[in-house]
Amino acid sequence: MNTPTRISYREALREAHREALAKDPRVFLIGEDVGRYGGSYAVSKGLLEEFGPERIRDAPLSELGFVGAGIGAALGGMRPIVEVMTVNFSLLALDQIVNTAATLRHMSGGQFSVPVVIRMATGAGRQLAAQHSHSLEVWYAHVPGIKVLAPATIEDAHGMLSLALDDPDPTVIFEHALLYNLEGERPSSWPQIDIERAAVRRSGADVSLICYGGTLWKTLAAANTLASIGIEAEVIDLRVLRPLDEETILASVRRTHRAVVVDEGWKTCSLAAEIMALMAEQAFYDLDAPLSRVCSAEVPIPYAKHMEEAALPQPQRIVDSVKTMLGRG
């Protein structure tokens, strides 16, 4: 009996890149250290040798410059994948993403599209301190004109890239840095991925736990703990942060009548706040308890391991939030 083949989130991403590069000569990868070094997170390891320096392009240390080059190439008919080392560094390219890529279809009256895919690592948990650890997904989810994706599973990591490349408009993909080592059984054939809808990762009738990206696995762990004390939680993986799948969110809370939103971003002006506003506006009379959220502490992410862990959403905080909501605290 053959042992099932294992594959990591990182390897699934690499395979998706290889398939895209082989399928379409317009596709190329550009970013810092994506070539000879193999990528800061080893996603592009081996691709330079396979596809050459014209298609695996090391860029200077200038996010503003190489993100702009990717946008220009997309306008010229190419299908660029731009890798930004971390979301914190993407702030140096905000002008290119927000003022150029996101607006050109509108400003050109539909004459131009910008089919660029911008990938970046996000999130904390690796003791890299404040300049490499924040979760700023909501900054991009706020902006009309771009699609924002957050793959949390190996299957989504593999399947979202090709769909994003097919999109005529800019797409930003957030990869939580703690997920790169995530391993699972490699499917015999990759499933069809939907980048329009959220995914129900666990069914339940007592409370909806709404999460995305790096918080999915913590939320599933919390749901398992809750099940052991007789509380059945439904876990919704948003997957698509813009546009939000309002239908799936509302359908879940109308079933369970309670909701906790888990978001590694800060509480103030967070994506969690937007989701809570959606539920309050459209499902208020379905609620049996006040909405709740578990977010990161309102501090720059600390370096010390125990302080970093204390600042981030953890399974026990999710469990405690649900127990309090149900009067079981």
Residues 40 and 131 grouped into a single domain: yes
Q: Identify the DSSP state of 17.
A: H
- The CATH number of the domain holding residue 31 is 3.40.50.970
Q: Is residue 259 in a domain?
A: yes
Contact assessment for residue 278 and residue 246, using Cβ atoms and an 8 Å cutoff? yes
Q: Is residue 311 in a domain?
A: yes
Residues 179 and 226 grouped into a single domain: no
Single out the residue in 143, 160, 185 at which a domain terminates: 185
Separation CA 37–CA 13 (nearest Å): 16
Q: Is residue 144 in a domain?
A: yes
Phi, psi torsion values for 101, nearest 5 degrees: -60, -45
Q: Is residue 191 in a domain?
A: no
The per-residue pLDDT for 328 is 86
Residues 170 and 217 grouped into a single domain: no
Separation CA 309–CA 127 (nearest Å): 9
In the set 11, 17, 32, 63, the catalytic residue is 63
Residues 40 and 155 grouped into a single domain: yes
Residues 136 and 212 grouped into a single domain: no
Residues 291 and 235 grouped into a single domain: yes
Q: How many domains, in total, are found in the chain?
A: 2
Q: Which domain holds residue 238?
A: 199-325
Residues 6+ away with beta carbon under 8 Å from 109: none
Q: Is residue 190 in a domain?
A: no
Residues 144 and 217 grouped into a single domain: no
* Nearest one of 302, 313, 304, 253 to 277, comparing CA atoms: 253
Single out the residue in 125, 158, 185 at which a domain terminates: 185
Residues 173 and 205 grouped into a single domain: no
The per-residue pLDDT for 1 is 46
Residues 285 and 310 grouped into a single domain: yes
- The CATH number of the domain holding residue 239 is 3.40.50.920
**132 tagged catalytic:** yes
10-residue stretch averages of pLDDT, the chain, 329 residues long: 78 98 98 96 97 97 97 98 97 97 96 97 92 95 98 97 97 97 93 94 98 98 98 98 98 98 97 98 98 97 96 98 92
Q: Is residue 192 in a domain?
A: no
Q: Is residue 32 in a domain?
A: yes
Q: Is residue 280 in a domain?
A: yes
Residues 15 and 142 grouped into a single domain: yes
Separation CA 197–CA 236 (nearest Å): 10
In the set 11, 32, 83, 132, the catalytic residue is 132
* Nearest one of 253, 254, 273, 252 to 263, comparing CA atoms: 273
Would the pTM count as exceeding 0.75? yes
Single out the residue in 158, 185, 212 at which a domain terminates: 185
Separation CA 236–CA 8 (nearest Å): 22
**63 tagged catalytic:** yes
Contact assessment for residue 103 and residue 145, using Cβ atoms and an 8 Å cutoff? yes
Residues 171 and 257 grouped into a single domain: no
Residues 287 and 139 grouped into a single domain: no
The per-residue pLDDT for 2 is 56
Phi, psi torsion values for 49, nearest 5 degrees: -65, -30
